[in-house]
Structure 1
């Protein structure tokens, strides 16, 4: 997916496990099919996962998750991937990597949710719990910034999508988002990437939340993006009610969902069909 990503295969991961964590060397190891973009994941045994950054931009995620996820896990209403062990660069692999608990559940499929209203409330409860955690000394999230900081990148993406989407409608929707008042409250903890691929469900309920690579503190609006990338229209108000956010924060969340989708689509259009399809869904939902 990226020109500068490193080569990772099961033989490399097996060598890393065998030399650094020999107690796990004989456990089954298999790649996990995922629409993830910056990490490769392998299942280790039945109850662990190995997560390795593909690109240099993700290498700080391991340290961040090692520091903060155990603290957050104690107060969040559903499981998150708490690290069990930290691997070191070796055998030609250049960066730190991690072993976490395997979290059970399935990624939800847009348009085929078992209980959209229940899932909407569960997601809202998770986000509210995260936003209430003391954010002092938390690292800033690059998605916690004002929407205006994404203006150039978003407009560049719109231009690249000429002939693929309705660029006039996308530009109008983006201009509307930029008019929404910016966040003036204190920064809060945000997940910042609540996409279907980072959510696990079981029997229609939220079972776990994955991938805290964009974790940090900032504007809470970005955690409303699930309203447009996952939930159907009838469940969005339930999600919003559970979030208990004001009109401006909801509108900025809509702007975040649009900007993320617009930037993702041209970049992943031919390399990550799952992510590209979801980006098209978001753009169609917001722009009509």
Structure 2
């Protein structure tokens, strides 16, 4: 147990001596370096003779200094150090619990005492951390995702009243800082299990097909004036990458993919007439992991990083990524899409499915399995 019966200013003539001594004493413990340095400097700030101009005041009234600097004395289990979020692509930023705690403490001090816990997710664009019981922090993993935060903060409150399912409610927008170079956001936590982690029974899946179809139709009808283009709102592209994925999967997937059939289906999708209507809203990423259910019923849609305007066909890929032969017609009827949009949506299911299955086989097996299912369903649906 750490005891402070003697003022540290008498025991050590220099603050660096204290830091060195504590580091040596706690070396066997699983500390992240930033956590250790943060709690040490916080403790030093309560020793007036050692106050340094470089040290910023830290509100430490919530817990004694020993509790902040010794994991065994921390009262809440969510405060324990955890490893950084695993990386799936080159160039991803370093994100962990300690970083999120520092960002929240400095920019939103009213939430500084709340526990932070990493949310396990197969998502590739954002790392998520639970903040207390009612909030979640979303941080883009790559510099290319910087614009997603402002987009969600601006447009979700405007679209939410027009949608039949719950969507994330933005609470605050964080700025770059403390070693993290991108904007980040705080949202209201939505309870529920995603459809990949907790698949629905047949009745629940049929209900979800109707509800998600209505969601797609309602989103498409919302006023899109001034909306940004979606990165899946244009025509199918990346033909070279899709064909490379087909070749590799045909050779390496133990016969799980019919390469000739996949190639024919992809070429058919490329020949479908392009969208010639005005741009409309689309979610852009309606996959099982972005759909939440409670009590066996679909209730919310999350992760609007791909939100934007354009051809609505990409939202139709849910017909093959989420639903099966028995529930697909329910989704199509509720979504109210024409034959060409449906055919382009099947093309998006092939595009997403083949590239995700191929690219994430090792780094994200969950997303790879979603991609494989989408391909299997899309090929079977061609007859």
Per-residue CA deviation, residues 162-210 of structure 1 (Å, 9 max, x unaligned), is 4123221111110111121111111110001000011101123221111
Q: Distance in 2 between matches of 1:146 and 1:27?
A: 44
SS of equivalent to 1:225: helix
What is the RMSD computed on CA atoms of the aligned residues?
1.4
Residue in 1 that maps onto 2:183: 96
Are 2:104 and 1:17 aligned?
A: yes
- After the TM superposition, which residues 139-288 of structure 1 pair with which residues of structure 2 at under 5 Å, given as runs? 139-147=228-236, 149-163=237-251, 164=253, 165-288=257-380
Higher relative contact order (CA 8 A, sep 6+): 1
| CA positional deviation for 1:153 | 2.9
SS of equivalent to 1:233: coil
CA distance 1:62–1:112, shift in 2 (3 Å) = closer
| CA positional deviation for 1:85 | 0.5
- After the TM superposition, which residues 74-85 of structure 1 pair with which residues of structure 2 at under 5 Å, given as runs? 74-85=161-172
Q: Distance in 1 between matches of 2:248 and 2:180?
A: 34
Match of 2:226 among 130, 133, 137: 137
CA distance 1:110–1:42, shift in 2 (3 Å) = closer
Runs of 4 or more off by more than 6 Å in structure 1?
Answer: none
Residue in 1 that maps onto 2:151: 64
CA distance 1:51–1:217, shift in 2 (3 Å) = same
Are 2:207 and 1:121 aligned?
A: no
Residues paired across the two proteins, number:
287
Select the structure of larger CA radius of gyration.
2
